[in-house]
Structure 1
């Protein structure tokens, strides 16, 4: 065996040993006498599935905090306009590596990267190389669907880094173009992701009638989702990802999480952009818990929200067969959390993870069976140095973006 995580507590409260070989979880439970090349003593730690960030524009990592009062139109102009146009392949690599490091530091083992930075094949190479260096699991959603040759190679990616397709979609682009791109993604076996609004007059019903809805499609935000929209998406198995912090901060509208849940759907969570939001999923979990309790008028169990940042997020991007739970046969993407040793064996561990922990409590992170953060420090990545070098060398124009737009 390659790795033994010994004596940790699962979110259920159960004490367990986790055996890992060749990146795969072999067993979960009591393993007395088990031996492995590496043993992690998890006594006093909580072991949860690695967090899955279901929607993130990772290339924006160097722009962290530049737009605390930025509206969506201002974001379109400053970030998707001026900033993105300044990214060459070198900048794309620096920024993606920084974003991946910040995600790992916060216990995020998978990112679905809606990568506007894949502007040319050279940009795509730079993004993929950054993920290979970082050691994170990444689903890279190519955002230049007109470059079909470059998109096609995303379908050939296997293992820790896989591909997807990011499109403007039916809300923000021409109908015929969206149909063609969705069908391209479906032919290639790629999840197709698009931002959507929902609500009266939205194209969702037309998409259903055209046979475009299904598990191959991921819709992000859907803040104006109606009950009928929610039933349509849930019935067709469409992946839905909400990003509640950014949606509230930038005025998108109320999170659709609860409305989707009313229809039997299970939305995943994303961070979206760090220009005005944290680079972790702890705050999105807490915000979702608060809004869902208000929506239902009940004390919805806090621990139930943990699934939204793990298995439900993985399902929404089509990889729940590989990650999202701690069970034999899944890939070993795991997070060991500190700060709750006094509750182990007696309290609601899962609820405490959601309500009380944060990135500072992320003790150890394992991706595909490899330790990428140990005892609170990233392995092979110097986050402080990455922040300095990226700011100095990759995005010298940031100062200009912080002025009013």
Structure 2
């Protein structure tokens, strides 16, 4: 059970370990046990990492994976149109099998592009069977996943019993763990927010919440006044939050997740990377949803980087790479297990082709990854030491069969919803 990654350019994301122009990484029983210029391990299985950049797997802190079947259909939608289409028109027709296929293909896509840890922000809980299908898909995909169970838009019923039921089957020592998706003060009362936070504390769950503070009301300030800011909560988007509200989040130890592609395209506002950094927050990155944006961390990093550089020129490519790895792991409560190539942490590692013409020569690896990286560079992926992608191909995955099933799912939902798939459908936001 020993694996040696040998001869690669190691970008460890650990300041103590540092980076190595030529380095080896030794893995034993799924855990990193050594990082050095050269390691002698004659009994280990060897993976040749020459002409490869070796770095920790990416961490996506917010993805609505169940929507994968409708990739690209919302590229031109506003946020209001997205809500009307996905939650008002499509979601009512999702069956558990549709959720399973969306989550499975979406999670495999994330692994394929180097996302070893992903928070699945699930808000399609039409029934307990829907939730169970989502969890089953995450278990069937060999990645590190956090099932973030949310009540979703338009849901007012209590979720206490259902959260407890799902929590009883998910444990912190597995690859699939759990978080609680709060409805938040923009969708429910402060009393309900307090109750959900109390439930999360009782069950040992981290929480995540979509927030639009500053748009019509100062909801972060309201949470602060009610004593409801937690160091275990990740605030998603927060594009219009006032500066003092961001300071409140930093003081509470909360984390933030930005979705730069979706936020810009849907009219949510500028990704607040620079303002968050100024307040003492380390942003984390998310792809958000397949109908509106791509599912890889490379394009997400590049958008976040280019936008902030255009605004103030103060962001470095190394910062952005930290957002996508170490900072993301910290926000997901996984920083002792993943996020860097550090002895003692699980071997969630990806190898990128540095000899590909789109990345060659990778003179400055971090800069190359952020400015020129793309999923086609992802040659090998390991999760807890297990090789789940090798030589550019996912291991033991029947993609043709899964593609066929996902297309059948998409077509069935569209037919039931009465919408065309020829690109002519534009949802009516006013109906939401």
On the 8 A contact 2:351/2:378 being kept in 1, the answer is yes
The offset of 1:117, in angstroms, is: 2.8
What is residue 204 of structure 2 aligned with on the other side?
189
8 A contact 1:78–1:401 mirrored in 2: no
Contact 1:282 1:358 in 2 (8 A): yes
1:226-375 equivalences in 2 (<5 Å): 226-298=242-314, 300-340=315-355, 347-375=363-391
Q: Structure 1 residue 65: deviation in Å? A: 0.6
Taking a change above 3 Å as real, the CA distance of residues 36 and 111 of structure 1, as seen in their structure-2 partners, is farther
* 1:108 equivalenced with 2:124 (yes/no): no
Query: What stretches of structure 1 of length at least 5 have no aligned partner?
Result: none
Asked if structure 2 preserves the Cα contact closer than 8 Å seen for 1:186 and 1:216, the reply is no
In the TM superposition, 1:8-23 aligns within 5 A as: 8-11=8-11, 12-23=19-30
Tell me, yes or no, if the aligned pair for 2:94 and 2:413 is still in contact at 8 Å.
no
For the residue of structure 2 that corresponds to 1:255, the secondary structure is coil
Is the alpha carbon distance of 1:93 and 1:395 closer, same or farther for their aligned partners in structure 2, counting shifts above 3 Å?
Answer: farther
Alignment-derived partner of residue 63 in structure 1: 70
Residue 284 of structure 1: SS of its match in structure 2? Answer: helix
Alignment of 1:94 onto 2:101: yes
The alignment yields a C-alpha RMSD, in angstroms, of: 2.1
The TM-score with structure 1 as length reference comes to 0.94
Larger CA deviation: 3-12 vs 272-281: 3-12
Are positions 1:148 and 2:160 aligned together?
Answer: yes
Question: How far did 1:257 drift?
Answer: 1.4
Distance 1:346 1:175 in 2: 50
Shift of 1:272: 0.2
Determine the C-alpha separation between the residues in 1 that align with 2:290 and 2:326: 23
| CA pair 56-305 structure 1, distance change in 2 beyond 3 A | same
Secondary structure at the residue paired with 2:303?
helix
Report the alpha carbon displacement of residue 148 of structure 1 after superposing the two structures with TM.
2.1
Give the drift of 1:361: 0.7
Any unmatched runs of 5+ in structure 2? 12-18, 152-156, 428-432
8 Å CA contact 2:25–2:39 kept in 1: the answer is: no
Does residue 129 (structure 1) correspond to residue 145 (structure 2)? The answer is: no
Of 138, 157, 174, the match for 2:171? 157
Looking at structure 1, the residues matched to 291 and 266 of structure 2 have their Cα atoms a distance apart, in angstroms, of: 10
Structure 2 CA distance, aligned partners of 1:318 and 1:19? 25
Contact 1:13/1:348 (<8 A) preserved: no
Higher mean C-alpha displacement, 278-287 vs 339-348? 339-348
Task: Kindly tell me the number of residue pairs found equivalent between the two proteins.
Answer: 404
CA distance, structure 2, for counterparts of residue 264 and residue 246 of structure 1: 24
DSSP-derived class of the 2:185 partner: helix
Structure 1 stretches of 4+ moved >4 Å: 340-346
* Deviating more after overlay: 193-202 vs 47-56: 193-202
Q: 1:332 touches 1:367 (CA, 8 Å); kept in 2? A: yes
Which residue pairs with 2:154 in the alignment?
Answer: none
* 3-state SS, counterpart of residue 380 of structure 2: strand
Deviation at 1:19? 1.3
Q: Superposition pairs for residues 377-388 of structure 1, below 5 Å?
A: 377-388=393-404
Deviation at 1:17, TM superposition (A): 1.2
- Give the Å deviation of 1:345: 9.9
Inter-partner Cα distance in structure 2 for 1:346 and 1:84: 44
Shift of 1:13: 4.3
- How far apart are 1:36 and its partner, in Å? 4.7
Q: Aligned in 2, Cα 1:138/1:358: closer, same or farther, shift over 3 Å? A: same
On the 8 A contact 1:94/1:394 being kept in 2, the answer is no
In the other structure, the counterpart of 1:174 is: 189
Q: 1:390 to 1:345 in 2, by over 3 A?
A: closer
1:396 to 2:409 alignment: no
